[in-house]
């Protein structure tokens, strides 16, 4: 073995080639399969973007209809899988509930587990796309103590998910088109982001030839971390703490700059973007529109905007090229839609799913399945002897 390069955090190591997503961090550019995120957010749908990411091309009208009906037809969960939900404590965080249920899918679908059989990969793909919203809605219902609703396949993926969360058996459910449209756009913005922590996790687990359900379940767990997908929940917690403490946003920023108790401005900074995150720009526009319509929490939105205004002018943030990332304003929108904070990262997972699937399939299809196995720099004892 030759010399080993030390690169903790993979600051400078590419571990794959990929044709899925392009990011230029210096310029703040994001494209899926070559299409700018701004155009997809404005003109496409989450279902179409999922197809684009997974299959590489935009679908024809007929392909989209087939994909739509396939994902609608598989929304039901196995009845026995439903028992899982009653085993968790009432206040369980929905992210570990989600990853457990996704992991359990491997036990119900033995016909979908071979990573090298295209028909099986196809089955695990549409099962995941169709069932993740149902699992997420069940986790939500569990946390609020309401009955779980069977999906209604006359609705599309986003509408069905909203009904699964906010509908009750006793009353017909009316989808609010503004909320459905905004959620669809947010899911598009989260759909892929090249080799981020959860996607790299999905690839690493898949490189051991683990099936797609097992790999995606690992991705959900990685996303749960506050430095990654958990940041959207952490942002709202931070805004509420600032509000409750009567602290001025400017005072909070002084604490961040002094690194008091390791406080960070959550929703700011990114490993790759050293410019305004293009997704955050779109989210900010959505927040402006939607909070006006739905009557969001103006005070928290105001605090967030003041934090951003300070950061964009302040040397600490300017020198380190710290800008709002996708998580900074999303929580305020989710809150206005009626989601509790615990659900925010679940919404991120729903969005990121097609990216995880696309990247896992790309790895398998490329035959690029050399097992991921980093090296190390050993810092422990040299040989020593067990006392005789």
Round to whole Å and give the CA distance between 197 and 266.
17
Q: Per CB under 6 A, does 325 bind ligand CMC?
A: yes
Give the SS3 label for residue 29.
strand
Contact 306, 249 (CB under 8 A): yes
Round to whole Å and give the CA distance between 265 and 146.
35
Kindly give, in sequence order, each residue whose CB lies less than 8 Å from that of residue 342, ignoring residues fewer than 6 positions away.
Answer: 93, 94, 143, 233
Q: Per CB under 6 A, does 322 bind ligand CMC?
A: yes
Cα 173 to Cα 137, 138, 152, 163, 203: the distances in Å are 15, 16, 11, 6, 39
Q: For the residues of 210-260, what is the DSSP string, one character each?
A: --HHHHHHHHHHHHTSTTTTTHHHHHHHHHHHHHHHT--HHHHHHHHHTTG
The single residue of 93, 184, 270, 277 carrying the catalytic annotation is: 270
Q: Per CB under 6 A, does 189 bind ligand CMC?
A: no
The window from 17-25, 143-151, 320-328, 335-343 that contacts ligand CMC (CB under 6 A) reads 320-328
Q: Per CB under 6 A, does 327 bind ligand CMC?
A: yes
Binding-residue pattern over the window 267 to 286 for ligand CMC, x denoting contact by CB under 6 A? xxxxx---------------
Strands 21-24, 35-36: pairing kind:
unpaired
Round to whole Å and give the CA distance between 201 and 288.
34
Give the other-Cβ count within 10 Å of 225's Cβ.
Answer: 14
Query: Which one among 265, 286, 303, 304 touches ligand CMC, defined by CB under 6 A?
Result: 265
Q: Which is nearer to ligand CMC, 155 or 235 (CB)?
A: 235
Q: Per CB under 6 A, does 196 bind ligand CMC?
A: yes
Q: Per CB under 6 A, does 18 bind ligand CMC?
A: no
Q: Which is nearer to ligand CMC, 317 or 360 (CB)?
A: 317
In degrees, to the nearest 5, what angle opens at C-alpha 331 toward C-alphas 326 and 335? Answer: 155
Q: Per CB under 6 A, does 307 bind ligand CMC?
A: no
- Across 130-269, where does the E strand assignment appear? none
The window from 83-91, 134-142, 263-271, 358-366 that contacts ligand CMC (CB under 6 A) reads 263-271
Contact 363, 196 (CB under 8 A): no
**Residue numbers 69-88 binding ligand CMC by CB under 6 A:** none
Round to whole Å and give the CA distance between 41 and 278.
11
The single residue of 176, 327, 366, 385 carrying the catalytic annotation is: 327
Q: Which is nearer to ligand CMC, 155 or 265 (CB)?
A: 265
Binding-residue pattern over the window 49 to 68 for ligand CMC, x denoting contact by CB under 6 A? --------------------
Please say if 327 is a catalytic residue: yes
Q: Which is nearer to ligand CMC, 115 or 229 (CB)?
A: 229
3-state secondary structure 288-302: HHHHHHHCCCHHHHH
Q: Which is nearer to ligand CMC, 134 or 195 (CB)?
A: 195
Query: Which one among 266, 291, 300, 332 touches ligand CMC, defined by CB under 6 A?
Result: 266
The site for ligand CMC (CB under 6 A) is made up of: 9, 196, 227-229, 231, 256, 264-271, 320, 322, 325-327
Active site residues: 270, 327
């Amino acid at each position: 073995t030759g010399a080993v390069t030390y690169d903790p955090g993979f600051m400078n190591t590419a571990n794959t080639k990929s044709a899925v997503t392009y990011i230029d961090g210096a310029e703040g550019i994001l494209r899926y399969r070559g299409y700018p995120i701004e155009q997809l957010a404005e003109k496409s749908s989450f279902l179409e973007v999922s197809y684009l990411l997974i299959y590489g091309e935009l679908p024809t009208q007929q392909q989209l209809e087939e994909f739509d009906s396939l994902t609608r037809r598989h929304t039901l969960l196995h009845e026995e899988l439903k028992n899982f939900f009653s085993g968790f404590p009432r206040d369980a965080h929905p992210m570990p509930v989600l990853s457990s249920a996704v992991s359990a899918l491997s036990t119900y679908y033995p016909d979908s587990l071979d990573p090298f059989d295209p028909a099986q990969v196809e089955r695990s793909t549409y099962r995941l796309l169709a069932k993740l919203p149902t699992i997420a809605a069940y986790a939500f219902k569990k946390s609020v103590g309401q009955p779980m609703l069977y999906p209604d396949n006359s609705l599309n993926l986003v509408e069905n998910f909203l009904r699964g969360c906010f509908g009750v058996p006793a009353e017909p459910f009316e989808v609010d088109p503004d909320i459905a449209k905004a959620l669809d756009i947010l899911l598009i913005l989260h759909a892929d982001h090249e080799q981020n922590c959860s996607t790299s996790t999905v690839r690493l687990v898949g490189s051991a030839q683990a099936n797609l359900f097992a790999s995606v379940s690992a991705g959900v767990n990685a996303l749960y971390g506050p430095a990654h997908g958990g940041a959207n929940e952490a942002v709202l917690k931070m805004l509420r703490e600032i509000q409750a403490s009567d602290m001025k946003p400017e005072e909070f920023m002084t604490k961040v700059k002094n690194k008091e108790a390791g406080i960070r401005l959550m929703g700011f900074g990114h490993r790759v973007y050293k410019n305004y995150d293009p997704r955050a720009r779109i989210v900010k526009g959505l927040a402006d529109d939607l909070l006006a319509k739905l009557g969001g929490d103006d005070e928290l939105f105001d605090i967030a905007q003041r934090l951003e205004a300070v950061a964009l002018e302040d040397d600490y943030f300017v020198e380190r090229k710290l800008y709002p990332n996708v998580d900074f304003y999303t929580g305020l929108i989710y809150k206005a839609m009626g989601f509790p904070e615990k659900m925010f990262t679940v919404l991120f997972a729903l969005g990121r799913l097609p990216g995880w699937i696309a990247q896992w399939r790309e790895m398998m299809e490329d035959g690029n399945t050399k097992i991921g196995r980093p090296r190390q720099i050993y810092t422990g004892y040299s040989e020593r002897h067990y006392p005789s």
